[in-house]
Amino acid sequence: EMAKLMCKAIYDEAIKEGHNDVLLSYVNTARKSKYLDEYNGVWTYADLYDCFPFDNIVYIADVTGREFKNEIKKYNNIYRSSSFTDTSIVDTQTYKIAVIDYVYFHTNGNRDYDYFPQTAGTSIVTLEKNYREILRDWLIDNHYNTGTQLKASDYYSSLWQHNKTQLPS
C-alpha cells in the first residue's frame, strides 16, 4: 500500500509544481511493508524512512510507449491521470511521466529490468523535493498529521490505479 500511496503523492506534487501534462507517476516497491491500519492516524518521519530509506529524486521524463508497456507489466506501481487510458498506449509515441531516479536511470544488461534504456537522460526536469519529502508533505497537506486515519480509498481506486493485466501487448 505504501508504494501506491507514494505514487499518488508524486502525481499530485507534479501537478502542483505545474507539470500538468504528466500522465503517470511511477515507483517501484517500498523497502519495507507497512499497512495503513498499523498507524491509527499517527505517522512519523521515521515510518516514512522505514518504507522509503533512499533519497530518490523524482524526474519528469518523456518515455516511449514501448518502454512503458515493457516496464509496467513488472513489479512497479503506477498512478495515472484520469485522461490516460490503458488502450491509448502507442509504442512509438512519447508519454510524460513522474518517475523516481532509481527506476528511470537504472540499466543493467544482465538483468531483466532495464527500465528505460532508450529514453533515459532525455527531456527531463526534477521536482523540488525527494520522494519521501513529497509523501510527508502530502500527508500534512491532506491533514493526515492530525490523527485522521488514512484509508486506501483516499488515494486508490480502480479508475486511477493502473491495471497491469489490461495493458495491450
Query: Over the stretch 3-48, which tens digit does the pLDDT of each residue have?
Result: 888 899 999 999 999 999 998 888 887 776 665 556 565 667 787 8
Span of 6-15, 108-117, 127-136, 141-150 with lowest mean pLDDT: 108-117
Rounded to two decimals, what is the model's pTM?
0.81
Reported confidence tier of residue 158, pLDDT bands at 50, 70, 90: very low
Q: Can you tell me the distance from the alpha carbon of 112 to that of 71, in angstroms, rounded to the nearest whole number?
A: 10
Task: For 77, list phi and psi in degrees, rounded to 5.
Answer: -115, 145
Count the helices and strands in the chain (H runs, E runs).
Answer: 5, 5
Q: Can you tell me the distance from the alpha carbon of 33 to that of 141, in angstroms, rounded to the nearest whole number?
A: 23
